[in-house]
Structures are given as structure tokens and as C-alpha cells.
Amino acid sequence: MYRLILVSLLLTILYYLLRHMFRGFKTPLQNGQGNPSSSTPDDEQDQMIQDPVCHIFVPRRIALIELIGGREYCFCSKECVKKFRDEHPI
């Protein structure tokens, strides 16, 4: 039981660290882009997108975004990307 608590605690810390890292990377990259629209990047990152293969919803922030046939698709894993590419040869 003690192990379980420890693991969940570590996962929580890892999650916050990753979240912090992504935010840190984003800010300098977004500067100088000159985006006049008022959409906030954070909202976009939190958007839930459906994986076309296994149909689960993935937050855009952690999804694997692939450009296939000129369209953007979001996947939960590399396995799903592979499956999708196999089923949709360009």
C-alpha cells in the first residue's frame, strides 16, 4: 500500500514538472510571432481532441499531432499513428 502512495506522489510531481517545462518553452517561442488574434494558447493546449483510431479524447498538449494528407490528426500514441497510416496510405 505504501508503494502505491509513493508512486502516485511521484507521478503527480512529474506531471507538474512537465507542465512547468512546457510553459517555460512556449513563452519565448511565442514572442515575435505577431499573432493578432486574441485566442489564448493555454486554452488551445487544453483542448480535447479525439484520436481517430481508438476514439479516446486526448488533450492537445500531450497528443501526437501528425500531418497526414494535408490534415492534422491527433493521436494518443505512436501505435495509433502507425495504425492510422497503415489504413490511410497516401
Q: Which residues bind Zn ion (CB under 5 A)?
A: 51, 53-54, 76, 80
Q: According to DSSP H, which parts of 31-61 are helical?
A: 41-46
Residue closer to Zn ion by CB (options 3, 55) is: 55
Residue closer to Zn ion by CB (options 49, 54) is: 54
How far apart are the C-alpha atoms of 55 and 76, rounded to whole Å?
Answer: 9
| CB of 19 vs Zn ion, minimal distance in Å | 22
C-alpha cell at 12: 503527480
Q: Is 66:75 a contact under the CB 8 Å cutoff?
A: yes
| CB of 62 vs Zn ion, minimal distance in Å | 12
